[in-house]
Amino acid sequence: MGGKLAFLPGSEGGHIVMPALDDARECIVCEPDALWARNPDERLLEAMIELARLLGARVRNDDFETFRSLDECYLHPDDREAALAAIRPGRSAPRRARVIACLKLLLLATVAAIALYRNFQGPG
């Protein structure tokens, strides 16, 4: 793994990046017992798994999936409660439903306006 990873400047060792990816958003967050990243690609995930083996840690993503390999993941017991809380509808669920309903009405009104415009435009 030599040379693949570097500490993110200013993170005091809490964040690691893969300079080869040229993307600071592909950042590994280091916690005492786990490494995680938001939607890591395969190259970053592979490096994380290798690093976690060396550190005796585990690799997880922002959906609380823990990876044994690129093809195998599971829900770690330490993350079970957080994962359940993430899927429970929160206070924002009713607001989200209202926003979606308003967007649907706006789309319907737009389609109706276009249809009426075309209908009353007349020939040619």
- Do 83 and 110 sit in the same domain of this protein? no
Tell the burial category of 113 from Cβ atoms under 10 Å away from its Cβ (0-12, 13-18, 19+): exposed
Range of the domain at 111: 90-124
- Do 22 and 64 sit in the same domain of this protein? yes
- Do 43 and 78 sit in the same domain of this protein? yes
| Average pLDDT along the chain | 77
Q: Pick 19 or 118 by higher pLDDT.
A: 118
- Do 84 and 116 sit in the same domain of this protein? no
- Do 101 and 83 sit in the same domain of this protein? no
- Do 37 and 47 sit in the same domain of this protein? yes
Cα–Cα distance for residue pair 13/5, rounded to 1 Å: 12
Q: pLDDT tens for residues 29-71?
A: 788 788 888 777 888 888 889 888 988 899 988 778 888 898 8
Provide the number of structural domains found in the chain: 2
- Do 64 and 15 sit in the same domain of this protein? yes
For residue 22, being part of any structural domain is answered with yes
For residue 1, being part of any structural domain is answered with no
- Do 56 and 31 sit in the same domain of this protein? yes
- Do 81 and 25 sit in the same domain of this protein? yes
- Do 71 and 19 sit in the same domain of this protein? yes
HEC readout, 106-121: HHHHHHHHHHHHHHHC
